[in-house]
Amino acid sequence: MNIFERLQMLDRRWIFLVVAIAIIVPLIIPFNSKTYTTEPTEKLYRLIDSFAPGQDEKPIEKDRALLLVFTHDASTMSELFPMEVAILRHCFARKIKVFTLTFLPSAAPIMDYAINTVKEEFPEVKSGEHYVNFGYKIGALMLPIILGMGEDISEAVDIDAEGRKISSLPIMKNIKNYNEMNLIMDFSGSSAGGAWIVYARSKFGANVGAGVTAVMAADQYPYLQTGQLTGMLAGLKGAAEYEKLVDVFATNQDPAKREFSRELLKDTKYDDAITNPNIKTKFKQARIGMNAQSVAHIMIIVFILIGNIGYFITKYKQKQQG
């Protein structure tokens, strides 16, 4: 028996140990790595950024808003939570009106947690004025609310998570339905904006974006091509890309550089995020994770190769023995 054949017999708990080490080591030894942004992420970023008020415009007057829908529980939080944090940070930094909503009871605390995580860094941002948490609405009301918001958001949602009448909130000035709340971002490990595409987009023409776990990412390309999905954040990589875009543009110290530009993205001075102490860990969680992801992917590829070499050697030997 040669080494490859012996490796085939290995107890899987040894493999588990290798997996654990491959992930722990890159997390405790930080190093910089470049994040390459992709088109589906950039498209979303640019659309959301276009909702920001102009320099002479009061944020409250702006007639554009974004809805973030949390359609996931803690199980897929590792992938989706960094996306939510990155988008909320973008909105708060650029004073973009943003709403949050969920139809899953287990997503309600995640929503609070995401908002609070980002809000700590933006003391000037106020609930009811810059953002509103619509809170948890029971699942059976999903379709009625999706359709209802096409007519009138205040009526369909009725009250927010704090029990306030939506119609009485200052943020609702100039915001009535999907004509103004023009983008819905659905974060999900299962639906990828499904109901929003079928109902909000088909009937009212709302833009729909998806923050999906990587498992579902490949399935979304037909919808991206037809424009039914405006853009997509795919798994931890998508979150890392968005984190970078927010760092480079939305929170740029120089106001002249807050517009999206491909030139600025290529600037290598933005590649030191992981070791840069000025960027808080919570705003680079996905990029730190991507380092471990790098090592883990190489590990999996090596596993596939070793497994296959062993397989072909065994097959060859069996053939020789007739």
Which range, of 59-67, 90-98, 111-119, 258-266, touches other proteins by CB under 8 A? 111-119
Nearer to other proteins, 17 or 173 (CB): 17
Query: Which of 5, 8, 127, 128 touches other proteins (CB under 8 A)?
Result: 8
Judged by CB under 8 A, the residue of 94, 228, 248, 283 near other proteins is 228
| 179 lies in the binding site for other proteins (CB under 8 A) | no
Which residues from 229-268 bind other proteins, rule CB under 8 A?
234-237
Of the residues 2, 61, 74, 173, which one makes contact with other proteins according to CB under 8 A? 74
- For residue 185, the cross-strand partners are 68, 209
Closest contact distance (angstroms) between CB of 315 and other proteins is 9
CB atoms within 10 A of CB 266: 9
283 near 247, Cβ under 8 Å?
A: yes
Phi/psi of residue 164, nearest 5 degrees: -90, 150
Span 282-301, contacts to other proteins by CB under 8 A: 285, 288-301
Candidates 83, 217, 248, 250: give the one binding other proteins (CB under 8 A).
Answer: 217
Sole window of 45-53, 119-127, 148-156, 171-179 interacting with other proteins (rule: CB under 8 A): 148-156
Pick from 123, 222, 255, 322: which binds other proteins (CB under 8 A)? 222
Q: Name the residue nearer to other proteins (CB basis): 171 or 192.
A: 192
Q: Which span (45-53, 54-62, 69-77, 124-132) binds other proteins, by CB under 8 A?
A: 69-77
Residue reference for tokens 């070793």: 306
Residue 93 near residue 250 (C-beta atoms within 8 A): yes
Q: Give the C-alpha separation, 127 to 34, whole Å.
A: 35
- CB 68 to other proteins: min, Å: 18
Positions 39 through 68 that interact with other proteins (CB under 8 A): none
Specify the residue, 24 or 57, whose C-beta has the smaller distance to other proteins. 24
Tell me: does residue 76 bind other proteins (CB under 8 A).
yes
And the tokens for 43?
């498209």
Residues 187-206, mask of contacts with other proteins (x by CB under 8 A)? ----------xxx-xxx---
